[in-house]
């Protein structure tokens, strides 16, 4: 196995580690809710600790990666991720759970920025786009983690023991992966201090595209089941059909996106992605039947699959910022889309209806195509730069 392949496998393993830890937590939220006797409102309030911790980690992650290198940050944060996970199962009070959730979000974004910086470096050494395949493994880990969680629930295994087992697997993964990870990041620059500069036009454009992509993802993650329940009016057993349809094409799309990027270019693929999201949601809104809504959600999954990987890939090739800082800047902009998107949908649904909310998200998806087309000159510049 050549050195580049070893690096790719190692970084892929860390993406998988991150995905399975997150999915393990998500799969046991109902059990933890029942354990602490939380109402829906209390649970919603406590879960805000996750985005709060994640948001707090973004500037910290960029500085740590720039100062100490992505390998050290990725290894330490991966170890912490596996160790923090059991704390979620240990929490016996609301305050303890809030603290554990916030810490889980913070460490999760440390690993997110550092491992994506590693992916940028591996992609550079490969000499071609491979970013989407890394994110595909995160999505695959989500399926695996969800399946394991379902099995643990079926066997009536306590969340704490479930999380301890996944934590041990995570530590094992990072133990074997770290030795083949990149020891030096590309385009680190001369300064080891925190670079206090506002995003340039390139990063602002990429950030805006990523913002729209994350807003669409947040919509599907949080509201797809509700849409099938309240608008499509399916039986209880089919409520998750839309989410499954979305996740299946999103995961599959990430494994084939690199091929299409090589053939058609990142900018054109982003334009096509925005069009897919728009027409997928429009189809679901205009014809809210099981068949048409499922097909629509399949299109949305395919459209969203490449937006974040391509955004991170282009951001990592910025000439004005080291990868860790450019990724943190873009992630910060994008994350607000994920944070504010679902509440906006709820607000519009309450005052109008859910179909109106999804129609708005359809136009947000269309903005990905518009921003990619209008900024194609700026977005193509990173493809011609070197690290």
Residues 335 and 58 sit within 8 Å (Cβ to Cβ) = yes
Q: Output the CA–CA distances (angstroms, integers) from residue 353 to 41, 144, 230, 293, in the order listed.
A: 21, 34, 10, 16
Alpha carbons 206 and 307: distance in angstroms, whole number:
10
pLDDT below 70 — which residues of the chain?
1, 40, 187-197, 381-387
Please, how many CA atoms are within 13 Å of residue 298, restricted to the half-sphere of its CB? 7
Give the dihedral of Cα atoms 171, 172, 176, 182; nearest 10 deg. -20
pLDDT of residue 210: 95
Output DSSP code: residue 187.
Answer: S
336: region left, alpha or beta (phi > 0 left; psi from -120 to 50 alpha): alpha
Output DSSP code: residue 179.
Answer: G
pLDDT of residue 381: 65
Write the DSSP string, 238-294: GTTHHHHHHHHHHHHHHHHHHHHHHHH-HHHHHHHHHHHHHHHHHHHHHS-SHHHHH
pLDDT of residue 189: 54
For the chain, give the mean pLDDT.
Answer: 87
Residues 214 and 99 sit within 8 Å (Cβ to Cβ) = no
Number of neighbours of residue 234 by Cβ within 10 angstroms: 20
- The pTM (predicted TM-score) of the whole model is 0.82
pLDDT of residue 272: 96
Please, how many CA atoms are within 13 Å of residue 332, restricted to the half-sphere of its CB? 17
pLDDT of residue 293: 95
Alpha carbons 164 and 81: distance in angstroms, whole number:
11
Number of neighbours of residue 175 by Cβ within 10 angstroms: 12
Domains and CATH numbers, the chain: 1-183 (1.20.1250.20), 194-379 (1.20.1250.20)
């Amino acid at each position: 196995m050549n050195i580049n392949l070893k690096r790719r496998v190692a970084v892929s393993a860390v993406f998988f580690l991150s995905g399975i830890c997150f999915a393990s937590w998500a799969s046991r939220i109902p059990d933890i809710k029942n354990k602490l006797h939380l109402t829906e409102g209390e649970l919603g309030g406590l879960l805000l600790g996750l985005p709060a911790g994640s948001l707090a980690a973004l500037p910290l992650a960029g500085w740590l990666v720039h100062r100490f290198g992505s390998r050290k940050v990725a290894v330490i944060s991966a170890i912490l991720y596996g160790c923090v996970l059991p704390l979620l199962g240990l929490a016996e009070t609301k305050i303890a759970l809030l603290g554990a959730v916030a810490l889980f979000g913070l460490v999760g974004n440390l690993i997110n920025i550092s491992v994506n910086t590693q992916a940028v470096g591996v992609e550079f050494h490969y000499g071609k786009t491979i970013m989407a395949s890394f994110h595909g493994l995160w999505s695959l880990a989500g399926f695996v983690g969800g399946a394991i969680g379902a099995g643990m629930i079926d066997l009536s295994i306590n969340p704490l023991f479930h999380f301890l087992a996944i934590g041990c697997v995570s530590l094992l993964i990072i133990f074997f992966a770290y030795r083949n990870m990149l020891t030096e990041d590309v385009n680190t620059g001369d300064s080891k201090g925190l670079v206090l500069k506002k995003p340039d036009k390139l990063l602002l454009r990429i950030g805006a595209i990523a913002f729209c992509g994350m807003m669409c993802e947040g919509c599907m993650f949080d509201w797809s089941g509700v849409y099938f329940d309240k608008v499509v009016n399916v039986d209880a057993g089919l409520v998750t059909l839309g989410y499954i349809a979305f996740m299946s094409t999103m995961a599959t799309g990430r494994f084939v996106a690199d091929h299409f990027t090589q053939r058609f270019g990142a900018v054109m693929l982003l334009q096509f992605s925005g069009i897919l999201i728009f027409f997928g949601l429009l189809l679901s809104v205009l014809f809210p039947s099981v068949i048409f809504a499922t097909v629509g959600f399949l299109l949305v999954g395919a459209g969203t699959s490449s937006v974040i990987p391509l955004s991170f890939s282009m951001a990592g090739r910025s000439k004005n910022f080291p990868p860790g800082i450019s990724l943190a800047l873009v992630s910060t902009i994008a994350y607000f889309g994920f944070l504010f998107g679902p509440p906006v949908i709820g607000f519009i649904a309450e005052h109008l209806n859910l179909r109106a909310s999804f129609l708005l998200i359809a136009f947000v998806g269309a903005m990905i195509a518009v921003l990619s087309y209008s900024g194609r000159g700026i977005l193509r510049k990173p493809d011609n730069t070197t690290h």
